[in-house]
């Protein structure tokens, strides 16, 4: 049997107003990024509960990235400021527990930044791929 | 070791009970052994006189009990609060978790509480009696007796006591203390200085001891949710026992995150953990991060203060920059 | 269990070029809940939509997944299709297999595999979708305008013009605001009174407009379309309905030494006064701090001379409660206090004045009847120095001033300089500036006329110190272009003081739950695209309360705010976004975390009685979300420790189902 090539699994939470539109723009401009990145649309990055991030890791994600409007540009005025605090603390905690810090990221991508979206995903996917499979925060029962 | 005696507190409680100011008293009661003091509700002078205890094992923080008790009891509840308990008391008030009008809070001084685990490490099992004092006298069923210096067996949270100041009370017994500069973050800093692999190994080792008894949650004064997410099948994180390593971590990460910014660092979680997991090191990591990222914040220091996670500034640190800061 | 139909779109070759749409449709057919699966060239076309409608009927579908382009493109289209087929429009989910799949991945197997996963995620979500109905709330067809300056006046007139009732609340005894104090207006040099007072009269005569002058808003409850507002009408000790504005009382009042704030205290008025001749309403007001009758019961002259019998010393503050559909904030600005600017000797010398004071000194209705005379000795000033940017564009660390540019000072200083030179050609006029900013229609031309035609000396540099010496003022300044220090003698120094939001704005913002920036200017819902709306629905912004503005900009924004108000009031019912937060009262702790993060003030608390299992009752504090105000960001759902708060359409369970589907 042939060994399956390792492909990282990346969950990207994108806010509807900026980053999801930025991802669409990346598509419009045919900017490539790995198919390992799967986007989940949320109204605002502040909708992302830390539990969703942990859930993704539990179910086998190798990296989780949150994308939202640039600070100051939130469609809901302040949502991404809360995201910034929550994720800064969560990621710091995961790092404290010894989870590789490259597996988590927050990036601000505007609706006009299709190129930044693609570049961010390429970079993130590359870093996560270099780490290999997520072993430290996985739930074996959820493995294929 | 305590400067204040049980009799003073009983006298206070009896007088308030008898003049009708309060209808019941939250206090400490002797358990099966001298060292397993349990929280109890006293409703009469007789109960107080016979069962009320105040000694070096009275670590229990009663703030949390007020949430349910104030809803059920007619009239006021007398509660005795050590300095660290008053922070939890304030934090619960900030979160509107009980009606301040229904509580009569008496601040009492605390010289630190002792850790039965540390005593047992010296004496071994089979303790038959313990007499508290600056020197703790322990007898065992094996006819051994030990004299232990109380200062040598303090609870971790008391070694690193953050405050002798009562931030809330209706009446204070003894003198007003001060906030203390403690070294409570040293251990967190030590872990931060490790390599990720070492940290992972450390926590893997600690958290794998977890038996999911939920004692940490049940005792935590910040965990007063009407329905805990871990009991809610719809929350996606419900589980009763950790099936594997992931769930051990999941439970503790989520619990720490849920109380982040609201945890007063009362240390009850570590005190009650039957597996001696240093759970306070999770909460203190959040407190340390909050202090260094967003400015010093002590939950419960003031009623009505805005917790760091429901607050922001436009200049907050970016999540990608926290690692550089965290490893200073 | 849902009965889900999956519709995979080819989008011509846009999707089908890199995604095997047939394979996707086949694979998704096996997913739980899916009872029908199809692919079609253009799902968004009429034929494609008909295919969906037909499948809904034939297969009794309860949910729809369309694998197509971005939901930002056609989610609305397919929701309408679902509605037309009798389904709830919110039972539709889109899997974005074009922008986020076929267009970014080049190889067919990879694109197909990802498209299937995205489809599975959408199916997992739809399985948990529930029909949503947008809430409706009625609209009170009346607007409240807070502030009666030019911004408030213009907004009120425009709203009234569209046929809606408007109330203006003005804290001063008359409307008119700052513009009523001005002499001429740049860049056309129309007389301010000549263009403002007719508008004030229009307001007074408009049947749709009520003016609550000498009044303040004290309480605001409710939400967009349904505000309940309490207005305090302060006692003016004169019956408004009887006073004819004849002014006899203001001439006979023996108390003459009352500082006249309308003239910035450069002269005096009586204890009973009408602020200026064209005041609206033209009604006298008694200043209780100075009136002898009110203070010690001795006098009563005004009552004796009033033939209308309008004086009422026993008048009390009156509270009015009214309902409004929309609220416009037009609280305007004030020059900042010069108290901290000792270097300009504002408090040492009467001949150092602010630009607004200069405005009164040159105004025909001002304390000098329009003659430019020095406040100290009434002489004609021969040398005048204007200092720009006093308290504007300061360093962040400078506590005296403001970081922002006050925007209007360059132009009014050019105006003052020009008018002075026009009226008194023998007067020497010097202006010290950091930059001259003239980005407005005909603004730069205006400034250049001041320099070129009127011979105003413009010197680039900041004034360091003004010191009174005898009856002169010594001005020390630097000339940055010639790189030298200057010492100039002046008879009058005019400071272009920075402007700041009116002090009443901050408490008002709290009442309205409208957000403000660090300078206390109101924040817009979007800085570029929604500049006249506050993030709080139903609250609109007009004029300088939102940021420094000149008159043309203020009037433009006032009209824009009015049009937004008209758009709101024209509706009989407001239909909300159904994807709003809601709290499960059984799980709610009442801890206020959600309320604190809500940018819209959509969450309130109530004490609710709960029947417990042991048959006792408990009263608990619980959060209640107002669906008409909630915008559905979901911030509260994460702030909530117990998970009581959830977001319709983006429920935690739905998002986790998507996560699971993607990670499987």
Instruction: State residue A108's pLDDT score.
Output: 96
| Residue B234 banded pLDDT, cuts 50, 70, 90 | confident
- Please state the domain count of chain C: 5
Who among B96, B224, B235 is closest to C621 (CB)? B96
- Whether B226 sits inside 8 A of C644 (CB atoms) is yes
d(CA C144, CA C323): 9
| Residue A4 banded pLDDT, cuts 50, 70, 90 | low
C164 and C293 in a single domain? The answer is no
d(CA C30, CA C596): 45
C204 and C297 in a single domain? The answer is no
Give B-chain residues touching A85 at CB under 8 angstroms. 293-294, 308-309, 311-312, 316
User: Would residue C662 count as lying in a domain?
Assistant: no
- Whether B203 sits inside 8 A of A106 (CB atoms) is no
Q: Mutate which of A7, A30, A38 to test chain C, going by most C C-beta atoms within 10 A?
A: A38
d(CA B181, CA C145): 54
Who among B232, B259, B310 is closest to C597 (CB)? B310
Who among B199, B310, B316 is closest to A96 (CB)? B199
Who among A20, A49, A55 is closest to C638 (CB)? A49
Whether the CB of B314 is below 8 Å from some CB of chain A: the reply is: yes
The low-confidence residues of chain C, meaning pLDDT below 50, are none
- Whether A55 sits inside 8 A of C114 (CB atoms) is no
Token representation of residue C634: 């979901």
C53 and C91 in a single domain? The answer is yes
Residues 261-300 of B with CB under 8 A from A: 282, 285-286, 289-290, 293-294
User: Would residue C655 count as lying in a domain?
Assistant: no
Q: Domain boundaries in chain A?
A: 10-137
Residue A44 vs residues A78, A106, B84, C13, C591: alpha-carbon distances, Å: 10, 13, 38, 32, 23
d(CA B106, CA B115): 24
| Residue B328 banded pLDDT, cuts 50, 70, 90 | very low
Instruction: State residue A2's pLDDT score.
Output: 53
Among C334, C342, C423, C347, CA closest to C384: C423
Whether the pTM exceeds 0.80: the reply is no
Residues 237-266 of B with CB under 8 A from A: 237, 243-244, 246-247, 249-250, 253-254, 256-257, 260
Burial of C520 (0-12, 13-18, 19+ CB in 10 A): middle
Give A-chain residues touching C118 at CB under 8 angstroms. 38
Give B-chain residues touching A86 at CB under 8 angstroms. 309
Q: How distant is the Cα of C592 from the closest Cα of chain B, in angstroms? A: 6
The separation between the first and the last C-alpha atoms of chain A, rounded to the nearest angstrom, is 17
Assembly ipTM: 0.96
User: Would residue C663 count as lying in a domain?
Assistant: no
User: Would residue C635 count as lying in a domain?
Assistant: yes
Among A69, A8, A10, A77, CA closest to A42: A69
C444 and C567 in a single domain? The answer is no
Q: Mutate which of C641, C652, C663 to test chain B, going by most B C-beta atoms within 10 A?
A: C641
CB C155 within 8 A of CB C339: no
Helices (H), C319-442: 355-361, 409-423
Contacts of B85 (CB under 8 A, 6+ apart): B61, B62, B63, B266
Instruction: State residue A90's pLDDT score.
Output: 96
**Among the listed ranges B33-47, B68-82, B229-243, which one has the minimum average pLDDT value?**
B229-243
Q: How far is CA B68 from the centre of its chain?
A: 18
Instruction: For chain B, list the contacting chains (3+ Cβ pairs, <8 Å).
Output: A, C
Flag whether pLDDT at B326 surpasses 70: no
What would the pLDDT profile of A5-43 be if each residue is shown by its tens digit? 788 999 999 999 999 999 999 999 999 999 999 999 999
Who among B71, B235, B310 is closest to C593 (CB)? B310
Instruction: State residue A119's pLDDT score.
Output: 97
Q: Identify the closest residue of chain A to B288 by CA–CA distance.
A: A89
Residue B21 vs residues B6, B50, B86: alpha-carbon distances, Å: 20, 21, 21
Percentage of chain B with pLDDT > 90? 83
Name the domain boundary from C244, C278, C313. Answer: C313
C359 and C437 in a single domain? The answer is yes
Instruction: State residue A143's pLDDT score.
Output: 60
Q: Identify the bridge partners of residue C221 per DSSP, sorted by sequence position.
A: C228
User: Would residue C136 count as lying in a domain?
Assistant: no
Contacts of C660 (CB under 8 A, 6+ apart): A55, A59, C124
- Whether B310 sits inside 8 A of C641 (CB atoms) is no
Whether the CB of B320 is below 8 Å from some CB of chain A: the reply is: yes
| Better pLDDT: B249 or B325 | B249
d(CA C40, CA C50): 11
- Whether C637 sits inside 8 A of A49 (CB atoms) is yes
C429 and C323 in a single domain? The answer is no
CB C307 within 8 A of CB C372: no
- Whether B192 sits inside 8 A of A96 (CB atoms) is yes
Who among B244, B250, B286 is closest to A93 (CB)? B286
User: Is CATH 3.40.50 what the domain over A10-137 is classified as, yes or no?
Assistant: yes
What DSSP assignment string belongs to C235-301? Answer: --SB-TTT-----HHHHH-S---EE-GGGTTSSEE-SEE-SSTT-SS---EE-TTT-HHHHHS---H
C542 and C557 in a single domain? The answer is yes
Instruction: State residue C374's pLDDT score.
Output: 94
φ, ψ at C372 (rounded to 5°): -80, 100
Whether the CB of A67 is below 8 Å from some CB of chain B: the reply is: no
Instruction: State residue B325's pLDDT score.
Output: 54
User: Would residue C654 count as lying in a domain?
Assistant: no
Give A-chain residues touching B314 at CB under 8 angstroms. 71-72, 81
d(CA C235, CA C317): 5
C524 and C477 in a single domain? The answer is no
Who among C118, C523, C650 is closest to A43 (CB)? C650
What DSSP assignment string belongs to A77-137? Answer: SSHHHHHHHHHHHHHHHHHHTT--GGGEEEEE--TT-HHHHHHHHHHHHHHHHHH-S--TT
C417 and C461 in a single domain? The answer is yes
| Residue B77 banded pLDDT, cuts 50, 70, 90 | very high
Whether the CB of A131 is below 8 Å from some CB of chain B: the reply is: no
d(CA C275, CA C21): 77
Among C626, C572, C574, C576, CA closest to C141: C572
Domain of C381? Answer: 333-500
Whether the CB of A81 is below 8 Å from some CB of chain B: the reply is: yes
Name the domain boundary from C572, C603, C632. Answer: C572
C487 and C430 in a single domain? The answer is yes
CB C324 within 8 A of CB C229: yes
C326 and C259 in a single domain? The answer is no
User: Would residue C134 count as lying in a domain?
Assistant: no
**The domain spanning residue C602 has which CATH number?**
3.30.70.3270
C337 and C199 in a single domain? The answer is no
Chains B and C form CB pairs within 8 A to the count of: 61
- At residue C572's C-alpha, the angle toward residues C568 and C577, to 5°, is 65
Whether the CB of C376 is below 8 Å from some CB of chain A: the reply is: no
Q: Mutate which of C128, C596, C642, C659 to test chain A, going by most A C-beta atoms within 10 A?
A: C659
Give C-chain residues touching B236 at CB under 8 angstroms. 652-653, 656
B250, containing H or E segment: helix B245-259
**The domain spanning residue C277 has which CATH number?**
3.30.70
φ, ψ at C156 (rounded to 5°): -65, -45
φ, ψ at C528 (rounded to 5°): -105, -45
Contacts of B88 (CB under 8 A, 6+ apart): B61, B63, B64, B221, B222, B264, B266, B300
């Amino acid at each position: 049997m042939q060994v399956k090539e390792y492909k990282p699994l990346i969950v990207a939470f994108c806010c509807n107003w900026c980053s999801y539109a930025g991802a669409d723009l990346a598509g419009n401009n045919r900017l490539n990024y790995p198919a390992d990145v799967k986007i989940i649309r949320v109204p605002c990055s502040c909708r992302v509960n830390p539990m969703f991030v942990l859930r993704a890791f539990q179910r086998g994600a190798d990296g989780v990235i949150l994308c939202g409007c640039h600070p100051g540009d939130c469609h809901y005025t302040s949502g991404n400021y809360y995201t910034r605090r929550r994720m800064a603390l969560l990621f710091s905690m995961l790092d404290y527990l010894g989870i590789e810090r490259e597996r988590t990221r927050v990036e601000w991508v505007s609706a006009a930044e299709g190129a930044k979206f693609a570049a961010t995903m390429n970079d993130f996917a590359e870093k996560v791929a270099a780490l290999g499979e997520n072993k430290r925060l996985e739930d074996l029962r959820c493995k294929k | 070791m305590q400067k204040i005696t049980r009799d003073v507190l009983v006298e206070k409680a009896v007088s308030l009970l008898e003049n009708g100011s309060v209808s019941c008293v939250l206090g400490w009661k002797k358990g099966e052994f001298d060292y397993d003091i349990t929280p109890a509700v006293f409703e009469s002078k007789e109960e107080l006189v016979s069962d009320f205890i105040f000694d070096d094992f009275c670590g229990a923080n009663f703030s949390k009990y007020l949430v349910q008790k104030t809803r059920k009891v007619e009239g006021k509840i007398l509660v005795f609060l050590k300095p660290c308990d008053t922070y939890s008391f304030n934090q619960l008030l900030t979160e509107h978790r009980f009606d301040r009008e229904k509580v009569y809070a008496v601040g009492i001084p605390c010289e630190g509480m002792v850790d039965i685990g540390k005593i047992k490490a010296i004496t071994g099992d089979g303790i038959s009696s313990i007499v508290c004092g600056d020197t703790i006298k322990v007898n065992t069923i094996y006819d051994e007796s030990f004299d232990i210096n109380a200062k040598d067996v303090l609870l971790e949270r008391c070694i690193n006591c953050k405050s002798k100041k009562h931030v809330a009370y209706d009446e204070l017994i003894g003198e007003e203390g001060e906030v203390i500069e403690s070294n409570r973050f040293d251990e967190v800093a030590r872990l931060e200085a490790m390599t990720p692999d070492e940290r992972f190994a450390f926590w893997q080792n600690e958290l794998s001891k977890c038996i999911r008894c939920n004692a940490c949650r049940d005792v935590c004064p910040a965990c007063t949710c009407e329905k805990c997410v871990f009991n809610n099948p719809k929350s996606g994180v419900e589980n009763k026992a950790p099936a594997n390593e992931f769930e051990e971590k999941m439970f503790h990460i989520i619990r720490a995150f849920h109380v982040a910014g609201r945890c007063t660092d009362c240390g009850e979680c570590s005190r009650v953990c039957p597996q001696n997991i240093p759970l306070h090191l999770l909460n203190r990591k959040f407190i340390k991060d909050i202090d260094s990222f967003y400015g010093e914040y002590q939950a419960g220091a003031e009623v009505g203060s805005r917790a760091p996670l429901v607050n922001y500034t436009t200049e907050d640190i970016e999540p990608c920059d926290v690692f550089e800061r965290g490893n200073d | 269990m849902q009965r889900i139909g999956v519709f995979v779109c080819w989008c011509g070759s846009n999707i089908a070029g890199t995604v095997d749409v047939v394979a996707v449709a086949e694979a998704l057919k096996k997913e739980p809940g899916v009872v029908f699966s199809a692919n079609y060239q253009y799902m968004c076309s009429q034929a494609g939509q008909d295919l969906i409608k037909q499948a809904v009927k034939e297969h009794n579908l309860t949910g729809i997944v369309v694998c197509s382009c971005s939901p930002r493109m056609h989610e609305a289209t397919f929701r309408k299709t679902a509605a037309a087929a009798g389904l709830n429009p919110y039972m539709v989910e889109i899997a974005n297999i074009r922008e986020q799949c076929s267009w970014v991945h080049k190889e067919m197997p990879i694109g197909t595999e990802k498209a299937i996963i995205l489809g599975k995620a959408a199916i997992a979500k739809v399985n948990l979708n529930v029909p949503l109905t947008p809430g409706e709330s009625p609209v009170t067809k009346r607007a409240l305008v807070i502030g009666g300056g030019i911004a408030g006046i213009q907004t009120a007139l425009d709203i009234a013009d569209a046929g809606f009732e408007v109330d203006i609340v003005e804290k001063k005894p008359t409307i008119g605001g700052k513009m009523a104090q001005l002499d001429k207006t740049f860049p056309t040099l129309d007389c301010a009174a000549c263009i403002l007072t007719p508008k004030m009269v229009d307001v007074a005569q408009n049947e749709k407009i009520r003016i609550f002058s000498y009044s303040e808003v004290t309480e605001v409850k409710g939400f967009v379309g349904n505000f309940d507002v309490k207005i305090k009408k302060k006692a003016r000790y004169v019956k408004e309905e009887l006073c004819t504005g004849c002014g006899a009382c203001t001439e006979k009042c023996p108390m003459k030494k009352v500082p006249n704030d309308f003239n910035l205290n450069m002269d005096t008025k009586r204890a009973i006064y009408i602020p200026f001749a064209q005041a609206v309403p033209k009604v006298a007001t008694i200043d209780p701090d100075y009136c002898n009758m009110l203070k010690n019961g001795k006098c009563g002259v005004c009552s004796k001379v009033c033939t209308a019998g309008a004086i009422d010393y026993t008048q009390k503050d009156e509270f009015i409660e009214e309902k409004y559909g929309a609220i416009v904030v037009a609280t305007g600005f004030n020059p900042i206090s010069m108290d901290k600017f000792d270097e300009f000797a504002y408090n040492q010398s009467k001949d150092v004045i602010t630009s607004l004071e200069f405005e009164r000194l040159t105004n025909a209705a001002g304390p000098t009847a329009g003659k430019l005379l020095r406040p100290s000795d009434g002489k004609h000033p021969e040398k005048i120095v204007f200092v720009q940017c006093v308290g504007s564009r300061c360093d962040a660390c400078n506590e005296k001033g403001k970081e922002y540019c006050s925007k209007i000072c360059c132009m009014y200083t050019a105006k003052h300089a020009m008018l002075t030179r026009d009226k008194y050609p023998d007067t020497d006029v010097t202006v010290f500036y950091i930059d001259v900013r003239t980005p407005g229609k005909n603004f730069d031309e205006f400034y250049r006329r001041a320099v070129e035609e009127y011979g105003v000396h413009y010197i680039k540099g900041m004034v360091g110190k003004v010191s009174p010496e005898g009856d002169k003022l010594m001005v020390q300044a630097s000339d940055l272009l010639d790189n030298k220090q200057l010492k100039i003698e002046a008879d009058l120094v005019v400071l272009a003081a920075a402007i700041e939001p009116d002090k009443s704005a901050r408490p008002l913002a709290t009442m309205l739950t409208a957000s403000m920036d660090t300078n206390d200017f109101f924040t817009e819902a979007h800085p570029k695209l929604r500049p006249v709306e506050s993030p709080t629905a139903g609250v609109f912004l007009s004029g300088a309360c939102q940021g420094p503005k000149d008159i043309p900009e203020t009037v433009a924004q006032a009209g824009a705010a009015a049009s937004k108000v008209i758009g709101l009031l024209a509706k009989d019912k407001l239909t909300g976004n159904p994807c709003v937060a809601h709290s499960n009262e059984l799980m709610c702790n009442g801890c206020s975390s959600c309320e604190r993060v809500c940018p819209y003030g959509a969450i309130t608390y109530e004490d609710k009685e709960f029947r417990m299992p042991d048959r006792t009752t408990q009263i608990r504090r619980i959060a209640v979300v107002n669906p008409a105000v909630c915008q559905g960001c979901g911030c509260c759902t994460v702030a909530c420790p117990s998970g009581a708060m959830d977001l319709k359409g983006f429920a935690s369970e739905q998002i986790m189902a998507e996560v699971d589907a993607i990670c499987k």
